[in-house]
A and B are shown apart, each in its own frame.
Chain A
Amino acid sequence: MVEVGDKLVGYATDDEVRKRGASGGLVTAVLAAALEKGMVESVVVLKHIDEYEAVPIITDDVEEVLASTGSMHSVPVNLAKYAVDRKVAMPGKPCDIKAVIEQSKRNKIDLDNTYLVGLNCGGTMPPVLTKQMLIEMYDIDPEDVVGEDIEKGKLIYRTKDGNEKAISIEELEEAGFGRRKNCQYCQLKIPTNSDLACGNWGVIGDLAGSATFCEVMNEKGKRLIENAVEAGRIEVEPASDKAIAIREKVNGVMVKMGETTQEKVFTQMPDEERLPYYREALADCIDCGGCKLACPVCSCGDDAKCTLFHNLGDNYKMSMFHLVRLLHLSDSCIGCGQCTDVCPVDIPITRIQMSFSIPAQTRLNYKPGMNADEKPPFFEVMIQ
């Protein structure tokens, strides 16, 4: 019998799935069982191309779900938009889950039809830079990599020849590699906003590396676990006090790192410097609109205020597109970094947006993407 709030350790019963999965294949098996037993019509999974690339696909094929196992720290996609208008189950990093919840508040996603299996996330990495990092820092040919993991503050790569090499994330980031900038100051590492919060933190002893720690966050999470157990796809047992304490400790260290980085990145800027700073920072914008397209929270579509008041032929010194977006997203930006990732002129849009959003969200006492019932401050009403 599973209860909301339970903290469990479990793994896939299928040996192959367990072996191939990042941490015992529990997440894969839970998703497969949800599809198999008709809880959902499809599952969003990342289809591997190689260690540095995967494509989100929406599948109703259980075998395809089972084949999708493996952690992918250097595939920084956000999956939220793939869940729109579907009865779906999906794995997700904390920021994926945040985006799904914000989309639900904008009536794009029905959370009753969406099962969210959250994955602990210490951060993701840009793939091209990661390959460069492997050559320069690890002395590893990127093509030789067969697996990667993050443990005890170190990024570990396993190679074809059976060797592995670990370097501390701190050292990598000092050298300009490692996690994406937004991940470095993110402070949600365990996806407590999901239905099930899963990861390898707290998996100890004989199960280390071959099981998943899983926290049941709500009734939907409970149904997911019970369904997978009934389907014979997973086995779970209560996590020990020691396992729970270790998970909390790892989380505490990661969150503290995020807080420290945030303090460093978002220093107070004198008022008179703000406008020149933003104008200069956005001056190279080519008006591609990629940031809007990639934003997993944005749901205005073509009928958007940021584009309505903006034209390439404008004579303004600062883009109305960005001005509107800075205001419009100040309550709801989740800091996922997608806009920065896709900016063709490398404008740190996430950082710029968060410099607006962090004070705004603090003042408004609103944390986007955390509570599906909490109305965004700029909303008059929330229709559900």
Chain B
Amino acid sequence: MIGNVYQTVCPGCNIGCGLYIREDEEGALSIDFMKSSPANEGKLCRFGIKLPEHYSKAVSMVDGAQASVEDAVKAASDKLKGADVTMLNVGNTTSEESLAFKAIADTLGTVVNTGMGVYSELPSECHPTVGVGMSLSDIESAKRIALFIDPYIQYPLVIRRILKAKENGASVVSVGWRNIHLADENKFIDPDKYESELGLDSESVIIADVHPNADPGWVKRMLNLALKTGAKIIFMKPFVNATGVDLLCKGTGQKGLKEIMDGINDGSIKTLVTLDSDLVELMPNSDEAAETLKKLDNLIVIASRDSAVNEIANVVIAAEPQYAKKGSFMNVEGQLLKNNGSGTAGIDALSSLNQNLGGEAMESASLHNKVLEGIIKKITKPKYKELACEVMDIGSMEGAKGNLVFLYNPFMWFDQKDDNDFVMVNLNMAKRLALRKGAMINLTSEGGSVSMRYKVEDMPDGLILTAKKIPAVTEWVATVSTEVV
């Protein structure tokens, strides 16, 4: 921290974009560009630019009433003693706090879930490749790049890496959902033809992503493609410290977000402790998620932001905002990124909680040393064998039906308001529905209906894309019926 300026890392995804947060005399926040940051050279995406809207200060609460941190910690430890506890940390806070959280899990005899249920479906020898498959700079030196993400909407800071590769002579094939400008080829082909038709080899790079709602079959398909072609692969991830929690904290038998919610609904999970992981924000249907969480006997939330879940938690233990923390994050390429705040309120609270539960006290410096021990020294070569996989069938749709696909992005994961309340359809669908300028499309699924604005894109027929969370649709890919409003 320099005066009122914090050097920090954008929480929007796991690329690890450096920036400054400036706090004025009245506490209002603004951003400054950190041009020396190797991950982003000061550049930020739409979410990064809007970070002042993202941050807020959490308040400690016990049973709905404001409380001191000490009282909140005591109330939490009273509720956790002897309970069967499920713990969740998706990676929205520092590695040091994450290790402290893991220590609590050890004390309680449980594991930390990262929300990435897909890991449970993958052989452990695949985990290093899904975790840190390559560096971001490897993209720039690739001869061919296969994109299985929409970088413009999902991970915009990858675009400049791809453009640099193109300047260096690379060709780019996008196997995503819509035609994208930077691709030399946009292919919508049968997954069985990826290996034969994408032209990948050992000088190629595959850019895919993995997230809490990722389809295990799809991830296996990506891993197989890398294995068979010899291409390097990078799995982009949401959450600033997703890689940190994966490497440092992940326990065996990982539960995904949906599994946790199912567990609450069926009564097998009664006590949940979350570390900066708001399931109301993370789940597709916020209202439904909130109702589910209310079924818990105990919901203990350790929070650096004042987000929706805090309102329904039995106990909120408030920590300082992410930008003010002392600690570090690990990005998608395994780089340790320093947060230069001086705040240790989060670690201190976690340490107190651990002590109350019978564990040891923890402090920032020793936790940081453990983080350093866990750093990846060298990216290892993939050691897995070909994986059997089934990939969901996204068949073509005709008539009024369509396949709605979510392009997951930071605004969705944090349920943060953006100018993205529209769906993308192709011209055929626009014509079929006789869409006029200003018209809305009504999307109906089993979960209900919603009306959205539309934008015409060059993309396969029958596909509907959106970057906006739609409560009525809870699957990554879902069939919906459409009508013009």
- The reply to whether B49 and A293 contact each other, CB–CB distance below 8 Å, is yes
Given contacts A313-B455, A342-B44, contact A288 B49 (CB under 8 A): yes
User: How far apart sit A56 and B43, CA to CA, in the bound complex (Å)?
Assistant: 17
> B35 contacts the other chain (Cβ, under 8 Å)?
yes
Nearest A residue to B182 via CB reads A284
CA distance A164 to B455 in the complex (A): 57
Cα–Cα, bound, A171→B207 (Å):
36
A24 within 8 A of B: no
When the two chains form their complex, are residues A344 and B44 in contact, meaning their CB atoms are under 8 A apart?
yes
Q: Which residues of A contact B450 (CB under 8 A)?
A: none
Q: Contact between B181 and A283 (Cβ–Cβ < 8 Å)? A: yes
Instruction: Report chain A residues within 8 Å CB of B2.
Output: 47, 49, 55, 57
**In-complex Cβ contact of A289 among B38, B49, B156, B454 (8 A):** B49
Instruction: Output the residue of A49, A75, A126, A342 with the most chain B CB within 10 A.
Output: A342
Residues of the A chain whose Cβ atoms lie less than 8 Å from the Cβ of B455: 312-315
Task: For B41, give its contact among A50, A57, A128 (CB under 8 Å).
Answer: A128
- Taking CB atoms, residues of chain A closer than 8 Å to B418 are 312
Is residue A52 contacting chain B, with contact meaning CB distance below 8 A? yes
A294 touches B46 (CB 8 A): no
Contact of A126 among B35, B419, B456 (CB under 8 A): B35
Contact with B along A331-349 (1 / 0, CB 8 A): 0000000000111111000
Cβ distance A345 to chain B, nearest Cβ, rounded Å: 5
User: Digit string of B135-157 for contact with A (CB within 8 Å is 1, else 0)?
Assistant: 00000000000000000100011
In the complex, what distance in Å separates the CA atom of A342 from the CA atom of B421?
26
**CB <8 Å contact, B35 and A288:** no
B38 interface neighbour in A47, A59, A128, A288, Cβ under 8 Å:
A128
Number of residues on chain B facing chain A (CB within 8 A): 42
Taking a contact as CB atoms closer than 8 A, the residue among A53, A284, A287, A341 that contacts B163 in the complex is A284
Chain A residues within an 8 Å CB radius of B401: none
Contact B3 A342 (CB under 8 A): no
Inter-chain CA distance A128–B36, complex, in Å, is: 5
Contact call A127/B35, Cβ cutoff below 8 A: yes
A-chain residues with CB within 8 Å of residue B35 when the two chains form the complex: 53, 75-77, 126-128, 341
Residues of A within 8 A of B20 (CB): 55
Is B453 an interface position by the 8 A CB rule? yes
- Inter-chain contacts of B454 with A (CB < 8 A): 313
B433 adjacent to chain A (CB < 8 Å): no
Closest to B38 in A: A128
A342 vs B157: C-alpha distance when bound (angstroms):
11
Residue tally, chain A, CB below 8 Å to B:
35
Chain B residues with CB under 8 Å of A343's CB are: 43
B102 → chain A closest CB, angstroms: 32
- Contact residues in A for B160 (Cβ distance below 8 Å): 344-346
B182 and A288 within 8 A (CB): no
A313 x B453 contact (CB < 8 A) = yes
Task: Give the contacting residue for A345; candidates B7, B34, B42, B156; CB below 8 A.
Answer: B156
Report how far A55 CA is from B330 CA in the complex, Å: 24
Q: In residues 77-135 of chain A, which contact B (Cβ within 8 Å)?
A: 77, 126-128
Interface status of A311 (Cβ within 8 A of chain B): yes
Q: Check if B194 is an interface residue, CB within 8 A of chain A.
A: no
Chain A residues with CB under 8 Å of B46's CB are 286-289
- Whether the pair B32, A344 counts as a contact (CB closer than 8 A) is no
Whether B44 contacts A290 by the Cβ 8 Å rule is yes
Interface residue ranges of B29-70 to A (CB < 8 Å): 31-38, 40-46, 48-49
Q: Which secondary structure characterizes the binding site on chain A?
A: loop
**Considering the chains assembled together, what is the distance between the CA atoms of A127 and B157 in angstroms?**
18
Choice from B7, B159, B419, B422 contacting A286 with Cβ under 8 Å: B159
CA distance A238 to B468 in the complex (A): 66
* Binary contact track A29-52/B, C-beta < 8 Å → 1, others 0: 000000000000000000101101
Across-interface contacts of A344 in B (CB, < 8 A): 40, 43-45, 156-157, 159-160
Residue B5 lies at the interface, judged by CB distance under 8 Å to chain A = yes
Q: A284-B159, A288-B48, A313-B419 are in contact. Are A52 and B42 (CB under 8 A)?
A: no
Give chain A residues whose Cβ lies under 8 Å from the Cβ of B31.
Answer: 293
* Cα–Cα, bound, A49→B42 (Å): 15
B416 on interface, CB distance cutoff 8 Å: no
Q: How far is the CA of A286 from the CA of B217 in the complex (A)?
A: 30
List which A248-290 residues lie within 8 A (CB) of chain B: 283-284, 286-290
CA distance A289 to B53 in the complex (A): 14
Contact with B along A47-77 (1 / 0, CB 8 A): 1011011011101000000000000000111
Inter-chain contacts of B33 with A (CB < 8 A): 77, 290, 294, 341-342
Cβ of B428 under 8 Å from chain A? no
Cβ-closest chain A residue relative to B181: A283
Tell me if B380 counts as interface (CB < 8 A to partner A).
no
Mark B9-28 against chain A: 1 for CB-CB distance below 8 A, else 0: 00000000000100000000
CB pairs A–B below 8 angstroms (8 shown): A49-B36, A55-B2, A57-B5, A77-B33, A128-B38, A315-B455, A341-B43, A343-B43
Please give 18 more A-B residue pairs, beta carbons under 8 A apart, in addition to A49-B7, A313-B422: A47-B2, A55-B20, A59-B3, A77-B33, A127-B41, A128-B36, A284-B182, A286-B152, A286-B156, A288-B45, A288-B48, A288-B156, A312-B418, A312-B422, A313-B453, A314-B455, A343-B43, A344-B160
